[in-house]
Amino acid sequence: MIEAVIFDMDGTLIDSEPMWKEAERFVFSSLGVDVTDELSCQTAAMTTREVTEFWYNVFPWSGRSLEQVENDVVDRVATLIATEGRAMEGVKTALDFCQSKALKIGLATNAPARLIPVVLEKLDVAHYFHAVSSSEYEIQGKPDPAVYLSTVKKLNVEPSACIAIEDSVSGIMAAINANMKTVVVPPVAEYSDKKYDIADIKLKKLSELPDVLQSNCMAAD
């Protein structure tokens, strides 16, 4: 029986991936980095620190520390989210259902911790969540399971009694490595990609989650 549902944030709750790309292109280009689309695709699932280290290794810069540059990126993303952020389709439908079933609701993200309240407040969903965790405070980000295990501990449930909602392969792997059931809502253009078949269930949008939980007897009555 499922006791808790844990959501990823970027690309799952909020359509923020374009904002990350815009912020990274702006900040790194200002340092002389040639931010190509090909290389940028390699950074999509990384933590902000990993992205900063990636670009520094490819195009070393001078004048600003990695920590300063990382903060520049996060600051720009926070501004973009606050002004332009939009929820992914079906977010409140999914959260309302989980709440109606008295399921504990958590969040586990690779994004820096200070972006969590920015996103939850922008989407007006902060009141749904019982626990949130960021990989910023873990030794490794997803696909390492640490951020999921931290959230599970805060929720006081067993991993096997949780279902993780993700949009990326690295996120699915993190949840699998944490011994959780997995639901993936891939980017629209990648829905048919077989790489997402490692998840237990694949959805086109979050609004389908209630029917899936009901039909699979995953939610408490």
Tell me if residue 124 is catalytic.
no
Taking the whole predicted model, whether its pTM rises above 0.85 is answered as: yes
What is the mean pLDDT for each group of 10 consecutive residues in the chain (221 residues)? 95 93 93 89 83 94 94 96 95 96 96 96 98 95 97 97 96 98 95 96 96 67 44
Q: Which one of 8, 72, 144, 167 is the catalytic residue? A: 8
Q: Which one of 10, 144, 167, 200 is the catalytic residue? A: 10
Residue 208 pairs in a beta bridge with none
User: Is there a contact between 203 and 185 (Cβ–Cβ < 8 Å)?
Assistant: yes
Q: What is the pLDDT of residue 198?
A: 97
**Which CATH homologous superfamily contains domain 17-84?**
Putative phosphatase; domain 2 (1.10.150.240)
User: CA nearest 16: which of 72, 76, 81, 60?
Assistant: 81
Domain boundaries, the chain: 4-15+86-215, 17-84
Q: What is the pLDDT of residue 43?
A: 85
Residue 163 pairs in a beta bridge with 5, 181
Q: Under CATH, which architecture does the 4-15+86-215 domain have? A: 3-Layer(aba) Sandwich (3.40)
Residue 70 dihedral angles phi and psi, to the nearest 5°: -55, -45
Q: What is the pLDDT of residue 46?
A: 83
Measured distance between the N- and C-terminal CA atoms of the chain, rounded to whole angstroms: 10
Q: What is the pLDDT of residue 216?
A: 58
Tell me if residue 10 is catalytic.
yes
